[in-house]
């Protein structure tokens, strides 16, 4: 089976499973009298990088806030004191840990989840923000490693999301602390930067205690030694498990069943197919284009010609600053090429990478209705609204939504517009693993059912792998020159893309998920020799 059947279980994005009885006496924290309840707590372990993997709304950030000393766990009671907390954790390692955090003996540093909010809290230059954080005198080194040197004299307010993310990561790493917490590291970073950050965090873990919440499984796999699984009923309650080895933990998570705890956390497994994409029986082109190019300031984009088919999903991969958005704007006719021309007439709907809802005192319902001609149709409801779990958000204001909620609304808005080509720029940002899987399914079915083309720019290899029929590959030098090649079939496209990154992947034996090979391992060397960067067929 497909593993992810939207038709049969319309509300699977919100899973309702009872709280296991044996956890009832492990209540760590409850917001208000009947608010969200967190059970269990991850355990920082020395010399290891611990990951936390789980859906949005099961208390991962809450756990991080407790462990980093921003919040006292209230054990579900109003007048809990630290003494009660120490008593509750008596005899466990968490007791010592929390004692040290409460008395500030243990120093913690953390990178917040939403980097988009940093410019509101900090006005000034990148250099000033980093100088304030640089307790370990690592600024020079980190600026080089995270490519920040050229940004130091820029205003924080003028940075792109990917730049802010790297600055925030550097600021956390530069602190002099015993315990480091990163609440998501990959949003807005390209694959090259993700792998770089993963290696830096792994290295930190050799000497420090590091804990990371992350939804990009290829990157989590690379940076963590162990993972804690989070599960529950998003917004209702959440449970954080004991640590598991990173490979086993991710596999159990994907399968939806935790054998040790004997609990099913999702009614369906998330599966990867290792085979050629589905046959496209009638291959009909939607648009064809010849050579064209465009210069913007010091950046030049060259396109060698190609075509997009009806009913296909094209994955778009390439580094940040290589011209992907510029290409989208050219296709959409928003800007004109300097050389060559695009002479077709199709409408393009575009979801930008950064979604802003600053001044949006408008409900999700009114917003979607205003841009989507078919908002009230049963098609839109059953194919878009229900699988993206938007029903219960309809009366919320846009500016009250979390990052993941806003992302799902933006995907629905993009697919709801009247167009033939739909371009989604980084739809995975702030979505959890199940939401990525469901969004993937929605996007695929949308292209098939409507005879349209969907292009998805994304840096999550899992999402690209699940989603794409073909791949458009950008290469060149970020900020200077970009070239567009393809679309290729998945194998050729991935080989081309991954060889430029010098990274090889293999397939996990159990779940067939893509895993990064250790550099210079025998598999890595063999695959490079054969030119099979994605996996050995
Ligand atoms: P995650 O990081 O796994 O997405 P969070 O820890 O951010 O989850 O939130 C878990 C739940 O707790 C959510 O339903 C959220 O709305 C709720 N929550 C978070 N912070 C507060 C708060 N300060 N007061 C009340 N509820 C909160
Ligand atoms: P990507 O989407 O791959 O991250 P973009 O297409 O947004 O890349 O940008 C490619 C390069 O072109 C970047 O270096 C960007 O700074 C530059 N650029 C984009 N728009 C303009 C513009 N209007 N003027 C000058 N440079 C621009
Ligand atoms: Mg969170």
CA of 216 to the centre of ligand 3 (A): 14
184: left (phi over 0), alpha (psi -120 to 50) or beta: left
Residue 437 has pLDDT above 60, yes or no: yes
Is residue 13's pLDDT more than 80?
no
295 pocket-lining for ligand 2 (C-beta < 6 Å): no
Q: Is 476 in the pocket of ligand 2 (CB under 6 A)?
A: no
Beta strands 313-317 and 470-477, pairing class: parallel
CA–CA gap between residue 484 and residue 462 (Å, rounded): 22
Q: Which two tokens stand for residue 479?
A: 């900020």
Which is more confident, 273 or 305?
Answer: 305
| pLDDT tens digit sequence for 239-256 | 999 999 999 999 999 999
Q: Can you list the positions of beta strands (E) in 346-480?
A: 348-351, 421-425, 453-457, 470-477
Q: Does the pLDDT of residue 281 top 70, yes or no?
A: no
pLDDT of 279 above 70? no
Position 73 scores a pLDDT of: 97
- Looking at per-residue pLDDT, the higher value among 7 and 162 belongs to 162
In three-state secondary structure terms, 343 is coil
pLDDT at 361: 84
Query: In which band, very low, low, confident or very high, does the pLDDT at 399 lie, cut at 50, 70 and 90?
Result: confident
Look at residue 42 and tell me whether its pLDDT is greater than 90: yes
User: If we measure between CA atoms, which residue out of 154, 211, 152, 207 comes closest to residue 185?
Assistant: 211
Q: List the residue whose alpha carbon is closest to atom 22 of ligand 2.
A: 296
Q: Cα(272)–Cα(421) distance, rounded to whole angstroms?
A: 26
* Ligand 2 centre distance from Cα of residue 372 (Å): 29
CA gap 508, 515 in Å, rounded = 6
> What ipTM goes with this model?
0.92
Residues near 75 by beta carbon (within 8 Å), at least 6 away in sequence? 27, 28, 29, 84, 85, 88
pLDDT at 284: 87
Residues of the chain with pLDDT > 70, as a percent, come to 94
Query: Please, what is the angle between helix 433-450 and helix 403-416, to 10°?
Result: 0
Among 293, 303, 325, residue to substitute to test ligand 2 (most atoms within 8 Å of Cβ): 325
Cβ–ligand 2 contact at 296 (below 6 Å)? yes
Per-residue pLDDT at 368:
94
Residue 7 has pLDDT above 60, yes or no: no
The token pair at 406 is 């806003």
Tell me which residue has its CA closest to atom 27 in ligand 1.
Answer: 31
Q: Is the CB of 488 under 6 A from ligand 2?
A: no
More confident residue, 11 or 247: 247
- Rounded Cα distance between 294 and 300, Å, is 6
Ligand 2 pocket check for 161: Cβ under 6 Å = no
Q: Tally Cβ neighbours within 10 Å of residue 179.
A: 21
Q: How far apart are CA 45 and CA 140, in angstroms?
A: 29
Distances (CA, A) of 104 to 87, 107, 171, 179, 210: 18, 6, 20, 12, 17
Confidence of residue 283 (pLDDT cuts 50, 70, 90): confident
Among 149-163, 164-178, 336-350, 523-537, the minimum mean pLDDT is found in 336-350
Assess contact for 49 and 201: CB atoms under 8 A.
yes
Mean pLDDT along residues 228-244: 95
State the average pLDDT over residues 46-55.
Answer: 94
Instruction: Find out whether the beta carbon of 297 lies less than 6 Å from any atom of ligand 2.
Output: yes
143: its two tokens: 């600026």
pLDDT value of position 14: 39
Tokens of 230: 């989070």
Distance CA 454, CA 190 (A): 20
Instruction: Report residue 4's pLDDT band, with 50, 70 and 90 as the boundaries.
Output: very low
Q: Is the CB of 42 under 6 A from ligand 2?
A: no
Show Cβ contacts of residue 367 under 8 Å, excluding neighbours closer than 6 positions.
360, 398, 409, 413
Nearest ligand to the CA atom of 354: 2
Ligand 1 atom, smallest distance to 31 CA:
25
Give me the residue label for tokens 């989604």: 424
**Lowest model confidence (mean pLDDT) among 21-30, 121-130, 364-373, 503-512:** 21-30
How open is the CA angle 499-500-503, to the nearest 5 degrees? 50
Are 435 and 387 spatial neighbours (Cβ–Cβ below 8 Å)? no
State pLDDT tens for residues 462-485: 999 999 999 999 999 999 999 999
The predicted structure's pLDDT at residue 280: 54
């Amino acid at each position: 089976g497909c593993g992810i059947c939207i038709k049969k279980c319309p509300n699977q994005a919100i899973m309702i499973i009872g709280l296991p009885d044996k956890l009832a006496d492990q209540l760590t924290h409850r917001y208000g009298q009947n608010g969200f309840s967190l059970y269990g707590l991850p355990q920082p372990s020395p010399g290891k990088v611990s990951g936390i993997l789980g859906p949005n709304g099961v208390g991962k950030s809450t756990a991080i806030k407790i462990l980093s000393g921003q919040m006292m766990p209230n054990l579900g009671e109003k007048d809990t004191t630290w003494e009660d907390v120490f008593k509750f954790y008596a005899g466990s390692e968490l007791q010592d840990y929390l004692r040290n955090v409460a008395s500030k003996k243990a120093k913690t540093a953390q990178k917040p989840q939403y980097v988009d909010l940093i410019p509101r809290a900090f006005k000034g230059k990148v250099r000033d923000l980093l100088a304030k954080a640089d307790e370990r005198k690592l600024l020079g080194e980190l600026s080089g490693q995270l490519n920040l040197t050229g940004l130091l004299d820029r205003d924080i307010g003028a940075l792109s999301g990917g730049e802010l993310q790297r600055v925030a990561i550097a600021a956390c790493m530069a602190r002099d602390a015993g315990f480091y917490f990163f609440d998501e590291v990959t949003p807005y970073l390209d694959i090259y930067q993700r792998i770089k950050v993963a290696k830096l965090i792994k290295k930190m873990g050799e000497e420090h205690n590091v804990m990371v919440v992350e939804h990009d499984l290829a990157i989590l796999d690379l940076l963590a030694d162990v993972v804690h699984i989070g599960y529950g009923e998003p917004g209702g309650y959440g449970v954080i498990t004991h640590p598991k080895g990173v490979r086993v933990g991710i596999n159990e998570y994907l399968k939806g069943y935790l054998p040790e705890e004997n609990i099913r956390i999702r009614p369906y497994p998330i599966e990867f197919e290792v085979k050629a994409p589905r046959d496209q029986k009638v291959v009909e082109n939607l648009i064809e284009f010849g050579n064209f190019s465009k210069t913007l300031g010091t950046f030049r984009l060259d396109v060698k010609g190609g075509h997009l088919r009806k009913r296909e999903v094209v994955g778009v991969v390439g580094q940040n600053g290589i011209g992907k958005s510029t290409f989208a704007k050219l296709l959409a006719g928003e800007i004109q090429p300097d050389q060559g021309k695009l002479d077709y007439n199709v409408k393009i709907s575009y979801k930008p990478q950064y979604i802003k809802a600053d001044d949006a005192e408008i409900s999700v319902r009114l917003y979607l209705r205003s841009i989507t001609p078919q908002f009230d149709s049963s098609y839109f409801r059953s194919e878009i609204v229900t699988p993206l779990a938007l029903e219960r958000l309809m009366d919320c204001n846009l500016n009250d939504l979390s990052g993941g909620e806003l992302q799902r609304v933006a995907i629905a808005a993009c697919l709801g517009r009247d167009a033939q080509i739909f371009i989604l720029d980084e739809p995975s940002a702030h979505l959890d693993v199940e939401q990525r899987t469901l969004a993937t399914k929605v996007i695929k079915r949308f292209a098939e059912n409507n005879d349209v083309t969907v292009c998805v720019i994304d840096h999550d290899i899992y999402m690209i792998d699940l989603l794409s029929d073909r791949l458009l590959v950008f290469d060149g030098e970020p900020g200077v020159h970009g070239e567009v090649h393809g679309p290729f079939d998945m194998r050729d496209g991935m080989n081309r893309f991954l060889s430029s990154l010098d990274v090889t992947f293999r397939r996990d034996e159990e779940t067939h998920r893509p895993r990064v090979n250790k550099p210079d391992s025998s598999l890595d060397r063999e695959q490079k020799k054969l030119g099979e960067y994605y996996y050995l067929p």
